[in-house]
A and B are shown apart, each in its own frame.
Chain A
Amino acid sequence: MITKTKEGKKSSITDEQLIARFQLGDVQAFDILVRRYKDQLLNFIYRFVGNRSDAEDIVQETFLRVYKNKHYYKEIAKFSTWVYTIAGNLAKTELRRRKRHKIFSVSNFINEERDYDIPDKEHSPEKKVDSSIQETIIQKAIEKLPIKFKEVIILRDIQGFAYEEISQILNIPLGTVKSRVNRGRLKLQEDLKFLYETEPNTRP
């Protein structure tokens, strides 16, 4: 199944209305929010920590915190901002914990079972393998980025958030977000140039 960020929200009821209902005790509203956000949060965390199992645990913990701390949500912020802030902080804590314990998730990534679909259905099986290798290389490059660049690149270029919302999620100024996105993109280009380099005489 392909789940795309920001898609699938066809219901007329907003996230903010749902969390308000949940704050009044409607547990079904919480379940709807879980269904809306579980996959996009998983993808966000997965790109962050590079390990599917850890990512799913962090998403579980995120929703558990939402459940237990529902009254801390104030309508001044979007629900997505609040839930992504919680998830992002948990992911950063996990990365710091790994750093302390010297666990390198990059080595785990290759052996990890992947049960997702490749989005481009026109790919031939050979191309599918190629894109799978390419994806592994890109994922490694993302993981190599310093956390401050990694979080903005994932939110902007993978999850498709607006700069303003990234600024709110990370609680940093808009200018800092833009600057970090630029530096993160340049760093990725530097690390991945071997993948996309063309011979000088074949350039347009």
Chain B
Amino acid sequence: MIDCDKLRTNFSDYLDEELPIEQRKELEDHFSVCLECQETIRQMKIIQRSLKQLPQISVSPDFEQKLHQQIFRANQKTTFLPPPFHNWKIPAMGSAIVLATVSLFLVFNDSTEDKSVPVVPPTKIYSPAAPQLPGNKSMNISTTEEESSNSYQSSTLVRDSLGADSSLIDKSGVMTVGNK
């Protein structure tokens, strides 16, 4: 006995008239003996015809006008508003400017301090035993330490450092101490 389910896989091709003659004949022979398949294919034909005859609808009269408005709005958005990828650039540029300003300030501030040492050589230097103090002093200390390592007037510095007063360094820095 022929398997109905297996034959059903060819129903679509049968309806579309795309089935080879042998298979078509086999199906038609089956329809003549199987009322269920015969009824199924009959209904499928009607449904296919009904689908083709479904009423067609048309777009509303203002469809194109609405579309042009949408396109206009989309164009406006692209023209007048910054594109999404620009959004991160503005704050990034701002941050870069701020960072650059701060960096320049620090660099120039540092170099000013550097220049002061060779112009006016300090006569006194802080004692290594003196307490660490916050602020520019630390920079002055490091500068002085660097300079001291270069044997620049090392004997004077060592001698002066013996009489150095940490409170004087704190208030006026190395320059002031040296001038005194």
Residues of B close to A182: CB separation below 8 A: 8-13
Binary interface encoding of chain B residues 101-132 relative to chain A, with 1 for a CB under 8 A from any of its CBs, else 0: 00000000000000000000000000000000
Is the Cβ of B48 less than 8 Å from the Cβ of A42?
no
Interface size bucket, A side? 35 or more
- CA–CA, A59 and B52, complex, Å: 21
7 more CB-based (< 8 A) A-B contacts, given A4-B56, A56-B63, A182-B12: A2-B55, A35-B64, A52-B57, A63-B67, A64-B67, A114-B57, A196-B47
CA distance A28 to B9 in the complex (A): 47
Taking the closest CB of chain B, its distance from the CB of A132, in whole angstroms, is 9
Query: Range of interface residues on chain B?
Result: 35 or more
User: Chain A residue with minimal CB distance to B39?
Assistant: A203
| Interface contact A185-B66, CB-CB below 8 Å | no
The secondary-structure label for the interface of chain B is helix
A73 → B minimal CB distance (Å): 17
**A60 B58 Cβ-Cβ under 8 A:** no
Q: Complex Cα distance A150/B15, Å?
A: 18
CB distance from A168 to the nearest CB of B (A): 18
What is the CB-to-nearest-CB distance from B160 to chain A, in angstroms, rounded to a whole number?
77
Which of B12, B35, B57, B74 is the one whose CB lies under 8 Å from A181?
B12
A192 to B50, CA, bound (A): 11
Are B15's CB and A185's CB within 8 A? yes
